[in-house]
Amino acid sequence: MDKLLIKQALFFGSYLVFPVLAWLAWRLRRPRGRLIAGAAMAALLVFVWARFVEPQMLRVRETTLPGTGARATIALVSDIHLGVYKDTGYLRRVVDRLNTLQLDAVLIAGDLTYEPGGAPLREMFAPLAELRAPVHAVLGNHDQQAPGPDIDAELRAALAALGVEVIEGRVLVDPVGIRWAGLGDRWAGKDDPTFLRRFPDPARPTFVLAHNPDSAIELSPTDAGLVLAGHTHGGQIRIPLLYPHVIPSVYGFDRGERLFATPRGTVRVFVTSGLGEIGLPMRLFNPPTIDVLHLRP
């Protein structure tokens, strides 16, 4: 069976939980089997929360990062995964929430899509044009055929038309004086950081936006004052002891801030939990998150 059809079956088939819950509620009225029916209902209510409630939540998590050499407030989002599980309406909610915040920039750390099908990408991502702060982005593995499909060129064109600046492989200085650089997806082999060393600027730190936090292994403290990334989803379904085994990171990245020792020195990395889902259309103990970072000198 086609993988997309399997995902659609998971997404729409999960609605069958509601008639099952109704049947279990009826069974609870009968003395025989009440304990089993109650336990089954409790398990299914957790499923309902993880499938229908938590993935539609939108948490804003604020973190102050001192010692960055800059003063600004930015929003870091990642793994929007518009497509089979999340739609344009959800993105509009994200944009509306971002526009209530006082931001100097919005950073999108890749994986904007997930099986988008044949929908025009410019229409899918149209709400991004309404963001009031400057928007910088890189692409992720789900945008670049790892696992794919490869919609790299079409997505870049759509984002450019919507005012989103894709900064992979280049350095720019924004209006508030922050120096941004972007790394492409690691799984696609597009995260070579050597361009950073061709444009040094000792006077100001470089903030590197990447999709996969594992890309930090190639960096030195002079390459990046701070690396901002996504990709891990924070485990997505964050069941204690189990979730670390499904995080797609060779170097054990999870979510939040970490000092990461590389062969070139120690690099500061911040990973966001993301906004969308892959695999199962579920989140647990780990709602979709906008990370608002207060950068301080």
From CA 285, how far away is CA 239, in angstroms rounded? 8
pLDDT digits (tens, 9 = 90+) for 159-173: 999 999 999 999 999
Residue 92 and residue 224 in one domain? yes
Residue 192 and residue 134 in one domain? yes
Mean pLDDT (the chain) is 95
Residue 83 and residue 115 in one domain? yes
Domain that holds residue 69: 60-295
CATH number, position 219: 3.60.21
Residue 79 and residue 23 in one domain? no
> Helix 34-48 vs helix 17-27: angle between axes, to the nearest 10 degrees?
150
Residue 182 and residue 291 in one domain? yes
pTM of the model: 0.96
Closest CA to 292 of 156, 98, 130, 109: 98
Residue 118 and residue 8 in one domain? no
| Residue 148 reports pLDDT greater than 80 | no
Residue 153 and residue 287 in one domain? yes
| Residue 1 reports pLDDT greater than 70 | no
Closest CA to 297 of 123, 79, 47, 68: 68
Residue 34 and residue 69 in one domain? no
Residue 37 and residue 131 in one domain? no
CB distance 278 to 114 below 8 Å: yes
Residue 124 and residue 198 in one domain? yes
pLDDT digits (tens, 9 = 90+) for 47-64: 999 999 999 999 999 999
pLDDT digits (tens, 9 = 90+) for 107-130: 999 999 999 987 899 999 999 999
pLDDT digits (tens, 9 = 90+) for 61-109: 999 999 999 999 999 999 999 999 999 999 999 999 999 999 999 999 9
Residue 263 and residue 205 in one domain? yes
Residue 23 and residue 70 in one domain? no
Domain count, the chain: 2
